[in-house]
Structure 1
Amino acid sequence: MDAAIASAVEVPGVPPLDDLREWLGHLGLTFAADLVKEELHEAVRLNRAPHEVLGRLLRGEIESRDERRVRTALKLSNLPGGTTLGNFDFAFQPGVDRRQVEGLATCEFVREHTNVLLQGPPGVGKTHLAVALGVRAIEQGFGVIFYRLEEMLHELRRDLGAPPAKLRRRKCFSASLLIVDEMGFEPMDREQASLFFRLVSYRYQRGSTIITTNKSVKDWPGILAGDEAMTAAILDRLLHRCAVLNIRGRSYRLQEIEQNMNP
């Protein structure tokens, strides 16, 4: 078969196979460089047209690059691994509007700079849904960053005296989608609430934010240092364009504990 390929390409004006591999590698088309020999084998065997061979190599290169991009973006996003919409148990949590979640999974909300608020008691799947939507956004090419609220506030406080230009380069400011998990487990002090307000104000109509919380919005003044005016300003910006999912159901974690206690 190598002889057949050689006879097919070693004609005046047609570069040798080794040169093709070298040139593809030089252009950064590593997938195509690795597969060009195999594709030419198949082209000779199946009598494929030249444009079909080129199309298969380019399509494979694009798919390979997309896979590498997604893997890298997932590592940089801080998203917990192994969580997708495919392994969310909608049957266990019938209170979740599956149609609404599938609509959000198109990531149109990210394109439109709309926010998502996931409310409910611990263990009902808020974080799972938030992370799964983050994975979908990465797959569609958006920049995503995930924070536990405490971690994000620590980072914001560390940058308290930084110039605005430096702050805007931080992922929590610049990412297309910011996911803030566990809002409401611990109240903020006044400085933290002010930092959170600055973040929300900057991202308003510039990017999308997903927040998971175990508190109703009417209880947010208690989270935000008791400052009702600041709370109103934050909620005004977050809820102006926002999809709200109120999850009322059983706890996955309690179910697992019960199953382990009663095998």
Structure 2
Amino acid sequence: MDLDATRTALERLGLDYVAAGLEDFINEAVKDNLPPHRLLDKLLALEHTQREERRVRTSLKLSGLPPGLTLANFDWSFQPGIEKNRIESLATCAFIREHETCLICGPPGVGKTHLAVALGVRAIENGFSVAFYRLEDLLHTMKQDADIAPRRLRGKKYLNVSLLIVDEVGFQPMTRQEAILFFRLVSYRYQRGATIITTNKPVKDWPEVLAGDEVMAAALLDRLLHRCHVLNIKGRSYRLKELEKLLR
């Protein structure tokens, strides 16, 4: 068998992982007396696995998600008030397919960002595009893009990703310009894409977040809360728990 020619053909087909280990794969198949069709099945499965792992790594990097926050390492015992079954339901990504919203509310340090990011990771693993922004960074980006023609603006990932995650809404009030930009974003994504928002403010206090504009807040919440999964987290702060450990 001319392995060099086979390897070259595999590389031309984009099967780089199989091409790189071709000789070892064949030797192992001969040793295990593997039929040709079983070898082919194995090679295709290996190539698919490698491509999927590469896709996930690339998507995680492009998403802006903070690393290391998954559902597997979330401390459920520290926040027993969280309904784990609701999080597991969200982790099926059905709400993304339905272009729904998830609002995660609670005081600082209770795990809102961790859960939002973990759901973003699960979304990427399930093949969805994801973008993560802290509100301050998102508003800065949108202000820079404010003069771009609408046709070109549609290419921005905060508009067209399957799942947009906006973290830390409510930590400081928006200016009038920022509130208008945020309202336009929510309006554009309404029933077009899924959104997760974390906030330390109950929805009744959102007018003060949106530059004191009660009319705009009502219109925005009307869109956000339609087909929305609201999670209210009440509990101790993880960060204070870690600080207490250090001070002992």
Q: Give the TM interval when normalised to the shorter protein.
A: over 0.9
Q: 2:83 maps to what in 1? A: 97
Shift of 1:39: 1.7
What is the rounded CA distance, in whole Å, between the counterparts of 1:168 and 1:234 in structure 2? 20
1:174 to 151, 155, 160: 160
TM-score normalised to structure 2 length: 0.98
Shift of 1:49: 1.2
Q: 1:164 maps to what in 2? A: 150
Deviations 1:81-101 (A, max 9, x none): 011000000011001110000
Unaligned ranges ≥5, structure 1: 1-8, 10-15
Q: 1:140 maps to what in 2? A: 126
1:150 to 116, 123, 136: 136
Deviations 1:145-180 (A, max 9, x none): 000001100111111121111211111001100000
What is the rounded CA distance, in whole Å, between the counterparts of 1:221 and 1:247 in structure 2? 21
1:47 to 22, 28, 33: 33
After superposition, where does 1:74-93 map in structure 2 within 5 Å?
A: 74-93=60-79
SS at match of 1:202: helix
What is the rounded CA distance, in whole Å, between the counterparts of 1:221 and 1:57 in structure 2? 57
After superposition, where does 1:183-222 map in structure 2 within 5 Å?
A: 183-222=169-208
What is the rounded CA distance, in whole Å, between the counterparts of 2:132 and 2:45 in structure 1? 31
Number of aligned residue pairs: 248
SS at match of 2:154: helix
Please provide the CA RMSD for this pair: 0.8
What is the rounded CA distance, in whole Å, between the counterparts of 1:24 and 1:135 in structure 2? 31
The answer to whether the 8 A contact 1:74-1:138 is kept is yes
Q: 1:241 maps to what in 2? A: 227
What is the aligned-residue identity percentage? 61
What is the rounded CA distance, in whole Å, between the counterparts of 1:25 and 1:159 in structure 2? 41
After superposition, where does 1:34-73 map in structure 2 within 5 Å?
A: 34-73=20-59
What is the rounded CA distance, in whole Å, between the counterparts of 2:4 and 2:39 in structure 1? 17
What is the rounded CA distance, in whole Å, between the counterparts of 2:153 and 2:186 in structure 1? 13
Deviations 1:1-33 (A, max 9, x none): xxxxxxxx4xxxxxx122111110111110110
Shift of 1:35: 2.3
What is the rounded CA distance, in whole Å, between the counterparts of 1:218 and 1:143 in structure 2? 31
What is the rounded CA distance, in whole Å, between the counterparts of 1:250 and 1:192 in structure 2? 31
What is the rounded CA distance, in whole Å, between the counterparts of 1:136 and 1:35 in structure 2? 30
Structure 2 letter corresponding to 1:222: E
The answer to whether the 8 A contact 1:105-1:133 is kept is yes
What is the rounded CA distance, in whole Å, between the counterparts of 1:144 and 1:176 in structure 2? 6
SS at match of 1:210: strand
Q: 1:116 maps to what in 2? A: 102
What is the rounded CA distance, in whole Å, between the counterparts of 1:79 and 1:210 in structure 2? 13
1:125 maps to 2:111: yes
What is the rounded CA distance, in whole Å, between the counterparts of 1:39 and 1:18 in structure 2? 14
SS at match of 2:151: helix
Deviations 1:169-224 (A, max 9, x none): 11100110000000000100111110001100100001000000000000000000
1:259 maps to 2:224: no
The answer to whether the 8 A contact 1:35-1:57 is kept is no
